[in-house]
Amino acid sequence: MAGEAAVAVALGSLPEEYLDVKSLIELHRRLREVRQKIVKRMLEELRGETPEEILAKASVVLQQHAPEVEELLEELKRRGVDPIKASLEATVEGYAEVLRLDAPVGGGKTLADLLYSGDKLVGKMHEVLMAFFMRYTEIECEPKCAPEDAERLARLATLELAVTTLITLFRQGKLDKEQLLTALDRAIDEILVA
């Protein structure tokens, strides 16, 4: 159940860093709020900033918040929605949209403009996004997610939350650019084998 909660709350958190998500339905909005609460708690409780620590912490905090998420999951199930399948479908769509590279990033520029300008950090983030996207599109949840796929999704969801936390740490000035680049590169290895 903790795995299901991790998928529901953390899967697709990265595309939301780039997309306008006004259209989220009420339940998804509430899941997003739980995620924000989890990231906030992680940032408060983190003692170090290595990817291993962040990943371990993400796993623990996600488990601790599982009961809160389960309430929302029950509501989804009552409406006949398979939460894991629905999360995966929405996540793949979110990633596909970001990887169209035409999302505005401010200053009249798009993600493609930054990527083709040779910005190293944007290039590394692009690799991270593509790595997650490739892994998610490998998983098929038709008609239902196989248990091993659900487990893999939970591992990827935890990684996605860890990467989101790394980016937040960078934005808060707690990681410099080189540290973030190194951490993201290590995260890519984890994503590829998850």
3-state secondary structure of 110: strand
The reply on whether position 168 binds another protein by CB under 8 A is no
Q: What is the DSSP string of 123-152?
A: HHHHHHHHHHHHHHHH---SSS--HHHHHH
Spatial distance between the Cα atoms of 94 and 119, rounded to a whole number of angstroms: 23
Q: Which of 19, 16, 8, 192 is nearest to 84 (CA)?
A: 8
Stretch that binds another protein, among 38-46, 64-72, 123-131, 149-157 (CB under 8 A): 123-131
| Nearer CB in complex with another protein: 31/88 | 88
In the region spanning residues 4 to 33, those forming contacts with another protein, defined by CB under 8 A, are none
Shortest gap between Cβ of 50 and another protein (angstroms)? 21
The reply on whether position 92 binds another protein by CB under 8 A is: yes
How many whole angstroms separate alpha carbon 136 and alpha carbon 87? 11
Is position 96 an interface residue for another protein (rule: CB under 8 A)?
yes
Position 99 contacts another protein (CB under 8 A): yes
For residues 4 and 147, what is the distance between their CA atoms, to the nearest angstrom?
10
Nearer to another protein, 2 or 139 (CB): 139
Query: Does position 112 bind another protein by CB under 8 A?
Result: yes
